[in-house]
Amino acid sequence: MQVAKYLSSAPEAVKTYISDLEEQISNLSRIGLALSKERDMSKLLEMILLEAKRISNSDGGTLYMMTDDKKLKFEIMMTDSLDFHMGGTSGENIPFYPVKLYDDDGEPNNSMVAAYVGLTGETVNIEDAYKAEGFDFSGTKMFDEKTGYHSKSFLTVPLKNHEDEIIGVLQLLNAQTNKNKKIIEFTSEIQGKVEALASQAAVAITNKNLIKDLENLFESFIKLIASAIDAKSPYTGGHCERVPEITMMLAEAVHQTSTGPFADFKLSDQEMYELKIAAWLHDCGKVATPEFVVDKSTKLETIYDRIHEVETRFVVLQRDYEIKKLKKELLIERDSSLSSKVKKEKIDSLQKEYRSTMRRIKKELLFVKESNIGGEFMSDDKKQKIHDIAKYRWKPNGKMQNFLSDDEIYNLTIPRGTLTPEERQVINDHIVVTINMLDELPYPKHLRNIPEFAGGHHEKLDGTGYPKGLTKNEMSVQARIMAIADIFEALTARDRPYKKGKTLSQAMRILGFMKDDAHIDVDLFDIFVKKKIYMKYAKGFLEPEQIDEVSL
C-alpha cells in the first residue's frame, strides 16, 4: 500500500523509469521462457539475435558459435535495411569462413573484434568503427563500399555458459533512434540489457547442447550394446541394427495413415525416438545367452561340432570291417583243405560283401552329416534311421558301447532347425532377461514405455507368444510393429546357421500365414504390404537374388 501511495505521488520521470524497468523485467522473463521451450537450435539462435536487435533497436546483427577447434562459426547474419538474412531459418547458407581466434603463428587474433571478445570474454562497445583504434575493420569497410551501407556502431558481447566458458559471440550493428532511424551509439543501459539477454541465451544454448549430448551418449551406448550383441555371434550379426530400420519404416507409414483403424494413431517426435530406442534394445538380453547356443549352426554343435567324433567312429567301423575281412582272407589262404578255386571264390565273396558294407557305411555317414545340418523338417523314417545307426556297436577304450549316445540321438533327431527344446528355451529366455534388464533402468518420462515395446516382440495376438502370453488388446501398437519387424528380419536374414535368407515372396507368404493364424496384426500387415515397406527395406539390406516379385 505504501509503495502504491508513493508511486501515485512520484514525479513523472520516476514513474516512467519504473514502468520501463517493469517492461524490461517482463521482456526478459518472456524471452527466458521462450528460450527454454524452443527445441530447434536454429530457431533458438535466431530468437536470441532477434530479441537482441529488438532490445537495442539495431539495424543488424551476427551470431557466432564457438567450434571445438576454437573458431567462431557464423550461425546467423541479419541487416534489416539491406533486407539481408542468412543462416538460421532463412535456408541460405553463410559462405564465410569461421573467424580464427588464433593466427597461423599461434598468436591471439586480437585485431578482429569478434575474435577478441571470444578470447577475452569482455564486451566491446564501439561508437564509430571508422574512428576506432586497435581493431581491424577493413573487411567491414569493403562490405560498405560494395553495398553502399555505412557500418558505424558495434556492440559485441560474449555468450558464457555456467562454467564461464565462452560458447559464442553476439555482435550488433548500428543502433538507431526510434523516430528517424538515425545511427547512434549503443548506450551503457542498452549494453546491460543485451548482456543480460546474452547470459540467458547462453544458459538456454548450454541446456540444449547438454540435452543433445546426453541423448547422443545414451543412443551411442545403446548402439554399442546392440553392436556387441551382434558381434557376439556371426549368425546374428546385424540383427539388432536391421530391426530398428524396419520398425521405423513401418511406424512412419502407420503414422502417415489417414484411413482405417490407425487413422487417429499419431506419434510425436519423442514417441518416435522412444520406439527407435526400444527397437535397438529389443534383444539386449542376449548378452546373457551362451554363445554355444546362439552359434549352434549344426545339431551336434556344443563348444565344437561333435560330428567329427561321429565321423571318426565311422572310420573306426570301416577299419574294423577291413580287419575282419583280412583275417578271414588269411584263414582261407592258410586252409590247406581248400582248393585254389574255392579259396578264390570265398575271397571274392568276402571282398564283395566288404565293398557292399563300405558303401552302406559311407551312405550312412553321409546321412548323419546331412541330418546334422538341420532344416525345416525331418521325417519319422529319417529319425528311425538315426536310431538304427545308433545301435551299431563299437569298442572305444576296450569297452563295447552303442555307436551314438542318447544325447547325440536326441540332437540328431531334432525335427526342425538345430536347437533342442531346452536350447530353444534358453534362446527364448533372452526376452525375459531383456525385460528384467530394461525394467531396472531409470527412464525419463518420454522413454518409460521402452520395456513394454522391446519386451513384446515375441508375443502373438492370440496369446500363444512369450514370455507373458499377451493378446492383441494387451499389446501396444508399437510392440505389434516390432513383432513384424523382428520376424521379417529373421526370415530374410542371410546369416542364420541352418538356412539361407528367404526371398521376398517367401518371407511375405510366411508373414501372410502368420497373419491368418492371428500371430501378427492384420491391419499393420496390410500397411506393411500397401506401403511396400518390404521392398523399401529390401533395396537397402537384401541381396539382389532375394528380391523377387511379390504377389499378395
Over the stretch 51-62, which tens digit does the pLDDT of each residue have? 999 999 999 999
Q: DSSP of 527-547, one letter per residue?
A: HHHHTTHHHHHHHHHS-GGG-
Please state the CATH superfamily assignment of the domain spanning residues 233-284+422-546 in this structure: Hypothetical protein af1432 (1.10.3210.10)
How far is it, in rounded angstroms, from Cα 149 to Cα 83?
A: 12
Cα dihedral: 482, 487, 488, 492 (round 10): 140
The SS3 of residue 136 is coil
pTM of the model: 0.67
Cell of 191: 549494453
CATH class of 40-211: alpha beta
What is the model's pLDDT at position 352? Answer: 94
What is the model's pLDDT at position 373? Answer: 87
What is the model's pLDDT at position 423? Answer: 83
Report CA torsion sign: 511, 513, 515, 518: negative
What is the model's pLDDT at position 212? Answer: 85
Reply yes or no: is the peptide bond before residue 467 cis, omega within 30 of 0.
yes
What is the model's pLDDT at position 32? Answer: 60
How far is it, in rounded angstroms, from Cα 511 to Cα 490?
A: 11
Contact 457, 492 (CB under 8 A): no
Task: Give me the residue label for grid cell 540467458.
Answer: 200
What is the model's pLDDT at position 33? Answer: 59
Question: What are the residue ranges in the chain where pLDDT is below 50?
Answer: 1
What is the model's pLDDT at position 336? Answer: 87
What is the model's pLDDT at position 207? Answer: 85
Each domain of the chain, given as residue ranges in start order, spans 1-37, 40-211, 233-284+422-546, 307-418
How far is it, in rounded angstroms, from Cα 269 to Cα 275?
A: 10
The strand ranges marked E within 332-476 are 393-394, 401-402
Contact 94, 87 (CB under 8 A): yes
The 3-class SS string of 21-79 reads HHHHHHHHHHHHHHHHHCCCHHHHHHHHHHHHHHHHCEEEEEEEEECCCCEEEEEEEEE
What is the model's pLDDT at position 39? Answer: 67
What is the model's pLDDT at position 44? Answer: 82
Burial of 110 (0-12, 13-18, 19+ CB in 10 A): middle
